Amino acid sequence: MKKFLVLIVAALVALPMISSAHGPSRQQVKEKITINASPEKVWAMVKDFGGLHNWHPAVASTELTGDTRVLTLASEGNPTITEQLISANDEKMMLTYKITGMSVVKTITFNSKDTPYFTLPVATYKSWITVKAVDGGSEVQWKSKFYRSFMDNPPVPEGQSDKDAVNSIKGVITAGLENLKVVMEK
């Protein structure tokens, strides 16, 4: 019985170490905003996959080729993000897309390996934007699921944690939704 108790205690002590010794876990950000404009008008703006620069303040320009867009950002060095349209469903007023590539904005040496820092600290990113009617206007929801871009086990380089990835995407989504509201309510 004493050996059994020792094993149980050892397992309980090891559990936090085991759980923290894994790579990234899937993260999610979901934000909503209400806009005083018809859903049809808002959806027309949102579903224009080549027109993100018309309402997102971080995007300087959008180049559309087929179902792929390259966003050039309005920040130092003009980094890019390449995204692929998965679907634009007019009936559900839902746009689905994923990131397929990003600029490397810098590279550091971390744990004796070259570690790239991408435009956003995320990987395997997929997003859904929906528009629906509410109270004579529209509700726009933008939901994203992703992993942090640094895929190795901890320690994690500065700016590459799950929290950094979530905060980065929350900032992108919030800025986009707030400016969409301004543009649509003019």
Mean pLDDT, all residues of the chain: 91
**Quick check: 82 pLDDT over 60?**
yes
pLDDT computed for residue 17 by the predictor: 44
**Quick check: 19 pLDDT over 50?**
no
Are 160 and 153 in contact by the 8 Å Cβ rule? The answer is: no
pLDDT tens digit sequence for 83-95: 999 999 999 999 9
pLDDT tens digit sequence for 20-70: 456 789 999 999 999 999 999 999 999 999 999 999 999 999 999 999 999
3-state secondary structure of 182: helix
The whole-angstrom separation of Cα 36 and Cα 38 is 7
**Quick check: 13 pLDDT over 80?**
no
What percentage of the chain exceeds 90 in pLDDT? 85
Indicate the pTM of the whole model: 0.87
CATH 3.40.50.300 for the 22-184 domain, yes or no = no
For the record, the structure tokens of 47 come out as 């579903």
Q: How confident is the model at residue 16 (pLDDT cuts 50, 70, 90)?
A: very low
Are 48 and 167 in contact by the 8 Å Cβ rule? The answer is: no
Q: What angle do CA 73, 79, 83 make, to 5 degrees?
A: 75
Q: What is the mean pLDDT of residues 99-109?
A: 96
Least confident range from 19-23, 120-124, 160-164, 175-179: namely 19-23
pLDDT computed for residue 22 by the predictor: 66
